[in-house]
Amino acid sequence: MTKQFDVLVIGGGPGGYVAAIRAAQLGLTAACIEKETYADPKGEVRLGGTCLNVGCIPSKALLQSSELFDQAGHSFVMHGIALDNLKVDVGTMVRRKDNIVTQLTSGIKGLFKKNKVTLLGGHGRFVGREDDAWQVEVTGKDGVELVNAKNVIVATGSKPRHLDSVPVDNKTICDNVGALSFDGVPKRLGVIGAGVIGLELGSVWKRLGSEVTILEVLPDFLAAADPAVAKDAWKVFTQKQGLNIYLGVKITKVTTGKKGTSVEYEIGDETKTLECDKLIVSVGRVPCTDGLGVENVGVQIDERGRIAVDEHCQTNQPGIWAVGDVVRGPMLAHKGMEEGVMVAERIAGQAGHVNYDAIPWVMYTHPEIAWVGKTETQLKNEGVEFRVGLIPFLANGRALGQGDTTGFVKLLADAQTDRILGVHVIGNNASELIAEAVVAMEFGASAEDLARCCHAHPTLSEAMHEAALAIDKRALHF
Ligand code: FAD
Ligand code: NAI
């Protein structure tokens, strides 16, 4: 017999599993289809999608381990702590990462049970419409079944973009999947693309001892970030940390032989070759609609292969929604989760909403980089008059005590209304500090509002406070 649900979610990543849980919380019968096992030792379907299995969580686990190794080797000494014979065991590091992933992915299965969400293991594909419901076929290891639902939420995520001339085998030439599971520290690591993955994973292996070279096609470094942040980050990454980053590069040929991989590239008028033992390809991600059968139900796809949706993630077909990496907007886990909640609430007749102007961006390099709202470049292009408050962590007692004064907090506020338009942080714990800026912007705060909030002393958050004061040229400690 065909199974029936109020809400059927295709894809169990952050967008999908959150949508299913929220729908169930609201009293709707909910099911979630997931196809991937992500190298589960028992071959069972795993929830959590890219984020939990081969993205956010494993990369942050490795970033933490490698950061500790780097600190033990370079920073402990200033505290009077000396270590001899510092060694790294990549096997243990990778196993720790795998254990965290297993714990979290099985945790989502537990959340499904708690909330009475049905997990359907297999590949989901639209087949058509039956009465007032959409019909989806689920092909799993035990066969094929049909499922009907009035509302279907597509949350099929994204997959790595590959380059035609660069064959990824996830052994020598890797995308994010292979790059998170190296079995040792490569002597020479090449990276194509100086974006978020390139810089995060490049940092991991650099800290562990690789010679890392990153080749970027664009002439500007971190073009999406505020220019002051990009400038500081460039200095720290290249001069202090020794990442070799080349901009304005055109990759012409990649060959793999017994001695490793050769990457031929053009830079200016020159042709050069990079020899490496491992190569990471991190040139962006593309939406995943493989075998989804959207053509069977007339769901519209946009010019970039994404499912076309309105501001509430509704497709052109009533009752079919799409959230997360498969739709427009930044490919970020928290953006997908917010959309999942919004859609579930709208299906339940509530007024779910996502404020796309207050979605934080974070890069978990060291220093971390985080921002929310507009950059200085965007405001200038839009002709908005603004004031700047910038406080370096050098002027912050907690940062000095922690032995890391890299970076700053930069606040941009409307010159007329004082409303906060953007906040940019580069430095230790930027990922946590940005949350205050997000709350301020969600509440439409002015810089004055933030300046009048009491911040604990001594904390890094005082730099945020001082930056708000600096908007009115009345910083007290700088
Ligand atoms: P996904 O997580 O991609 O999940 C989609 C799921 O749908 C997958 O499990 C897939 O198997 C399944 N699926 C697809 N098609 C079907 C089908 N037809 N039937 C059944 N199942 C199907 N974002 C952050 O916010 N912070 C970070 O720190 C961060 N770090 C990252 C690090 C790396 C290395 C990578 C690669 C990404 C990172 N991201 C990060 C991005 C983040 O992982 C994604 O934005 C997020 O996972 C998108 O969620 P989603 O639910 O839309 O899709
Ligand atoms: P990205 O879009 O961040 O960076 C890709 C980079 O590759 C860009 O700088 C681009 O100009 C460059 N590039 C493209 N084609 C190239 C070519 N042929 N040769 C050389 N360089 C080329 O994409 P990335 O790093 O692959 O990550 C994918 C997505 O995953 C990110 O956009 C982000 O949404 C998400 N992510 C988020 C993280 C976070 O929130 N901390 C961490 C990692 C990934």
Evaluate whether 157 touches 288 at the Cβ level (below 8 Å): yes
Residue 477 structure tokens = 């400690």
**Domain closes at, from 283, 316, 335:** 283
Q: Is residue 167 part of a domain?
A: no
- Residue 259 confidence class, pLDDT cut points 50, 70, 90: confident
d(CA 289, CA 427): 37
* Model pLDDT for residues 123-177, shown as the tens digit of each residue: 999 999 999 999 999 999 999 999 999 999 999 999 999 999 899 999 999 999 9
C-alpha closest to that of 343 among 367, 326, 360, 368: 326
Domain count, the chain: 3
Helix (H, G, I), strand (E, B) or coil at 63: helix
In a domain, 346, yes or no: yes
pLDDT digits (tens, 9 = 90+) for 191-224: 999 999 999 999 999 999 999 999 999 999 999 9
Reply yes or no on whether the pLDDT at 366 is more than 90. yes
In 3D, which of 335, 208, 192, 209 has the Cα closest to residue 264? 192
Does a structural domain hold residue 101?
yes
Active site residues: 457
Buried b (16+ CB within 10 A) or exposed e, 110-121: ebbeeeebbbbb
Q: Can you give the pLDDT at residue 120?
A: 98
Rounded distance, CA 241 to CA 254, Å? 27
Whether residue 22 is found in the same domain as residue 95: yes
| Domain closes at, from 335, 354, 373 | 354
Where residue 103 sits, what CATH number does that domain have?
3.50.50.60
Question: Which ligand 1 atom is at minimum distance from the Cα of 157?
Answer: 53
Instruction: Report CA(192)–ligand 2 centroid distance (Å).
Output: 9
Q: What is the mean pLDDT of residues 352-372?
A: 98
Å from CA of 92 to ligand 1 middle: 25
Tell whether 168 is covered by a domain: no
The answer, yes or no, to whether any atom of ligand 1 lies below 6 A from the CB of 176, is yes
Average the pLDDT over 293-319 and give the result: 98
Report the DSSP beta bridge partners of residue 414.
386
Residues with Cβ within 8 Å of 430's Cβ and at least 6 positions away in sequence, in order, are 362, 367, 368, 369, 370, 407
CA of 214 to the centre of ligand 2 (A): 12
Question: How much of the chain exceeds pLDDT 90, in percent?
Answer: 98
Q: Is 194 close to ligand 2, i.e. is its CB under 6 Å away?
A: yes
Assess whether 211 and 109 both reside in one domain: no
Whether this prediction's pTM lies above 0.95 is answered by yes
33 C-beta closer than 6 A to ligand 1: yes
Q: Is the CB of 196 under 6 A from ligand 2?
A: yes
Co-location of 309 and 420 in the same domain: no
